[in-house]
Amino acid sequence: MKKLFRYLISVVFYLCFGSFLLLFHAIQWVCFYVLGYLAQKNAVEILNFFILKFLKILGTQIYFDQEQPLPTNRSIIFVANHQSTYEVPLIIWHLRKHHPKFISKKELGNGIPSVSFNLRHGGSLLIDRKCPEKAIKSIESFGKRLSKKKHSAVIFPEGTRSRNGKIKPFQKTGLLTLLEHMPDALVVPISIGNSWQFAKHNYFPMPLGVQLTMKLHPSLEIVPGENEKLFQTIEKTIELGVKALHQ
């Protein structure tokens, strides 16, 4: 009976989720082509606000833990572990004042209502992981653009999501490239807990009563010549944070 209920409530969730993706795809289109960047950004934020509310249908408890206020007048590099797609609405909504822009694989740029449109037109970066040299050049330009606009970057250095919540080794190239080309940015490590549970059955049926947590650690300054040391600090901070969230 409990398993049947999970299937039924998952259907209700996806009906709400899917209908809003379609609705806001149209809204984003109008905002972007008629009203401009800020209108499209606001539409994306409202969509992700509702996605977080729809997760409550599943009994999801959402915790956002930020230890200190962050400036809105400079770029920030948010570095997070990656467990499922449902940490993205947390980031977009709770960090909206910082104009977060994602580094994502190019395959996500097509076929997903609202999501693909925002990745293509909202200032994020789509990279081809099969062409690493081209991807690095794109990240360099991406970092310079964000620094100029005082927008922020979001990067998941594991490369692919963890299927069991355990941290995968961080890949250096993308993050080190951002650190090099956004030297005036703050760096904020983020530990995300229990998001992996949404994906453990390939997103259907959805689990009930997940405690989804996102913890922002204290910000770090970029020091010239010490990017390797900073990389290690970021990785260790996130790893320890995730372990603490899973205890």
Higher-scoring residue by pLDDT: 67, 116: 116
**pLDDT above 90 coverage of the chain, percent:** 88
Give the distance from CA 88 to its chain's centroid.
4
Query: What does the pLDDT average to over 215-225?
Result: 96
pLDDT score for 135: 94
Assess contact for 210 and 173: CB atoms under 8 A: no
- For 161-196, the pLDDT digits (tens) are 878 888 899 999 999 999 999 999 999 999 999 999
Per-residue pLDDT for 20 more than 90?
Answer: yes
Closest CA to 105 of 144, 131, 86, 83: 131
Give the C-alpha separation, 64 to 111, whole Å. 30
pLDDT score for 1: 72
Prediction pTM value: 0.95
**Angle formed at CA 56 by CA 52 and CA 62, multiple of 5 degrees:** 65
Could you tell me the residue ranges of all domains in the chain? 59-245
pLDDT score for 244: 87
- For 73-95, the pLDDT digits (tens) are 999 999 999 999 999 999 999 99
Assess contact for 70 and 76: CB atoms under 8 A: yes
Report the chain's mean pLDDT, rounded to a whole number: 95
**Angle formed at CA 112 by CA 41 and CA 119, multiple of 5 degrees:** 40
Per-residue pLDDT for 100 more than 90?
Answer: yes
Per-residue pLDDT for 247 more than 70?
Answer: no
